């Protein structure tokens, strides 16, 4: 407890001072002059030129010749003391005690903070809460992530929804085959993707949902409908196609500027599918590469706030979503960049895979951009949903293709044997007629008719075999996912969603932070 002088001069009993003796409500003054002027401007209930203070049971009080009713609004007092170079002392009025109708004892307790504030030398202390600096020189919020333990509601408002697609309204149908379907036909390609050997052949056909043409720097492409139609009718595609799927992006993705796709000609080539005028793009050799999309300031679209902590988790959050079962949540304060930099990584394979990540998330100590991109996969949205297009096995085409030579040989052999048998029987019949052998003539005629009939029956058996195969329903060798739903409703690319707490709780927390500051729980010099 602070030592109280035995007497005072220029004693003033004040009202309307909003301070409390638990020091939860006080005021910080920058200098003595502003402090003194503040108290001198307050309402004086009563003043005394000089008085001695009394103590009873540890309580200090001053006897005032005023009724308790006249003093009831008094809650603070100030006085000087000549022993302390006429220093001003400040004190809380803790109780008014009735003595008689014209006398009241005013109990008080020294306000240590206001009295000795400019004589105190603060040491490192355990600071629980503090009014902290809110914004840096660039008007960005200064990070404070200590959990406040405050109720911020159970729901978030969505304040922004943006859809990013690597090539805007252009998508790619990737066709994976065992052998080439362009000239030279059925050639096996031994190439590489990103330096890895591969034995499959890849075609990538750009398309738009409305089936309008896509301009490229490589040349004119056929429509998607024509390409797919060719896949299901061309014999070169039967049992050759391993997979077909739709993807948002390709490795070493082409740039899309002014409605034109620009491919790297060293990686991609315009080709015509064999036996047709269907133009598509053949993937020759691709070295994988990432590219970055700048979505602008990470705090854009959030509500304007006075308290910077309201721009941090859990009061705001960021999500990357594809609406196909993949979602990643981020905390804005851990994005080590003012802008939201989204890294896109695509690939080629037998199924779709595109990765979206934040380039500078939780990596303040990593200077190398390449390492940042690699490490960002730990918190990435990985879209490997099977955007497959069904692959059909046409048994008739497969049978015709696989047995074309043997079928033709059977037909030729049957016709040849039938013809030779007919000639032999005709000759035999003629000879029997010359020799007068009527029975021989009849037998030869019957054999001739039988031979012709057998030829027809054998031909019918071959045709019937083909007909049986033709009547077998086409079989799915790869079942497609619900690609039509996803792309039909526009669930493509990545969706950037920003959320914040409701206005009701934002207002409550603003008032709380404005009064009590932010929680620190830190040993430091107090921020005066």
Q: What is the pLDDT of residue 471?
A: 46
* Confidence class for position 438, pLDDT limits 50, 70, 90: low
Closest Cα partner for 505 from 148, 180, 127? 148
**Cβ count within 10 A of residue 97:** 14
Q: Per-residue DSSP letters for 368-421?
A: -HHHHHHHGGGG-EEE----BPPEEE-HHHHHHHHTHHHHHHHHHHHHHHHHHH
Q: What is the pLDDT of residue 430?
A: 40
More confident residue, 487 or 31: 31
Asked if pLDDT for residue 401 goes beyond 50, the answer is: no
In sequence order, which residues have a C-beta less than 8 Å from that of residue 484 and are 6 or more positions away?
none
Asked if pLDDT for residue 185 goes beyond 80, the answer is: no
Q: What is the pLDDT of residue 242?
A: 86
Q: What is the pTM of this model?
A: 0.70
Asked if pLDDT for residue 212 goes beyond 90, the answer is: no
Phi-psi label, residue 524: left if phi above 0, alpha if psi -120 to 50, beta otherwise: beta
Alpha-carbon gap, residue 275 to 155, rounded angstroms? 60
More confident residue, 70 or 371: 70
Is there a cis peptide before residue 46, judged by omega within 30 degrees of 0? no
Residue 99, CA distances (Å) to 11, 91, 121 in order? 20, 21, 41
Lowest-pLDDT choice from 51-65, 138-152, 266-280, 440-454: 440-454
266-321 pLDDT tens trace: 889 999 987 778 999 999 887 788 889 999 999 999 999 999 999 999 999 999 99
Average pLDDT over residues 450-465: 52
In degrees to the nearest 10, what's the CA dihedral of 490, 494, 496, 497?
60
Average pLDDT over residues 96-125: 94
Q: What is the pLDDT of residue 482?
A: 67
Asked if pLDDT for residue 146 goes beyond 90, the answer is: yes
**Cβ count within 10 A of residue 188:** 10
Asked if pLDDT for residue 395 goes beyond 70, the answer is: no
More confident residue, 107 or 466: 107
Asked if pLDDT for residue 454 goes beyond 90, the answer is: no
Closest Cα partner for 345 from 217, 480, 244, 247? 247
Asked if pLDDT for residue 435 goes beyond 70, the answer is: no
Q: What is the pLDDT of residue 407?
A: 47
Q: What is the pLDDT of residue 143?
A: 95
Mean pLDDT of the chain: 82
Phi-psi label, residue 301: left if phi above 0, alpha if psi -120 to 50, beta otherwise: left
Asked if pLDDT for residue 352 goes beyond 70, the answer is: yes
Q: What is the pLDDT of residue 427?
A: 42
Angle at 223 between CA 277 and CA 199, to 5 degrees: 70
229-272 pLDDT tens trace: 887 776 666 678 888 899 999 988 899 999 999 999 988 999 99
Average pLDDT over residues 189-197: 66
Q: What is the pLDDT of residue 156?
A: 97
């Amino acid at each position: 407890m602070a030592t109280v002088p035995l007497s005072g001069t220029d004693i003033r009993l004040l009202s309307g001072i909003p301070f409390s003796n638990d020091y939860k409500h006080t005021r910080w003054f920058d200098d003595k002059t502003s402090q003194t002027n503040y108290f001198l401007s307050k309402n004086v209930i009563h003043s005394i030129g000089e008085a001695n203070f009394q103590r009873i049971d540890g309580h200090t009080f001053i006897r005032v010749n005023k009724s308790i009713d006249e003093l009831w609004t008094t809650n603070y007092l100030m006085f000087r003391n000549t022993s302390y170079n006429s220093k001003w002392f400040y004190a809380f009025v803790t109780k008014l005690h009735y003595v008689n109708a014209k006398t009241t004892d005013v109990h008080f307790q020294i306000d240590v903070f206001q009295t000795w504030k400019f004589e105190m030398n603060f040491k490192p202390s355990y600071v629980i809460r503090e009014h902290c600096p809110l914004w840096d020189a660039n008007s960005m919020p200064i990070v404070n992530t200590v959990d406040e333990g405050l109720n911020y509601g159970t729901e978030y408002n969505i304040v922004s929804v943006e859809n990013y697609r690597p090539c805007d309204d252009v998508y790619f149908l990737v066709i994976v085959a065992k052998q080439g379907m362009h000239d030279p036909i059925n050639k096996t390609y031994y190439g590489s993707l990103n330096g890895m050997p591969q034995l499959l052949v890849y075609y990538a056909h750009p398309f738009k949902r409305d089936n309008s043409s896509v301009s490229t720097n490589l040349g004119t492409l056929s429509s998607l409908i024509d390409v797919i139609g060719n896949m299901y009718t061309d014999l070169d595609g039967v049992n050759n196609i391993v997979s077909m799927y739709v993807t948002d992006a390709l490795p070493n993705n082409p740039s899309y500027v002014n409605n034109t796709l620009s491919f790297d000609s060293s990686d991609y080539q315009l080709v015509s599918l064999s036996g047709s005028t269907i133009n598509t793009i053949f993937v020759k050799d691709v070295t994988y590469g990432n590219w970055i999309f700048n979505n602008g300031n990470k705090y854009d679209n959030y509500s304007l706030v006075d308290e910077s902590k309201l721009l941090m988790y859990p009061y705001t959050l960021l999500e990357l979503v594809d609406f196909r079962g993949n979602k990643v949540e981020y905390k804005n304060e851990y994005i080590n960049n003012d802008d939201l930099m989204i890294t896109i990584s695509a690939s080629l394979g037998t199924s779709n895979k595109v990765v979206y990540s934040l380039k500078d998330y939780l990596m303040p100590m990593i200077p190398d951009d390449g390492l940042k991109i690699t490490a960002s996969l730990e918190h990435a949205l990985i879209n490997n949903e099977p955007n497959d297009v069904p692959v059909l096995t046409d048994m008739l085409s497969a049978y015709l293709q696989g047995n074309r030579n043997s079928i033709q040989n059977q037909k030729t052999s049957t016709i040849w044997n039938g013809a030779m048998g007919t000639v032999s029987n005709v000759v035999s019949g003629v000879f029997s007629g010359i020799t007068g052998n009527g029975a021989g003539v009849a037998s030869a005629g019957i054999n001739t008719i039988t031979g012709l009939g057998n030829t027809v029956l054998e031909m019918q058996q071959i045709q019937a075999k083909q007909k049986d195969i033709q009547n077998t329903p086409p079989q799915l060798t790869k079942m497609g996912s619900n690609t039509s739903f996803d792309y039909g409703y526009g669930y493509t690319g990545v969706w950037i969603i920003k959320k914040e707490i409701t206005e009701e709780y934002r207002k409550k927390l603003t008032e709380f932070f404005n009064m009590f500051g932010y929680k620190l729980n830190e040993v430091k010099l107090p921020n005066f």
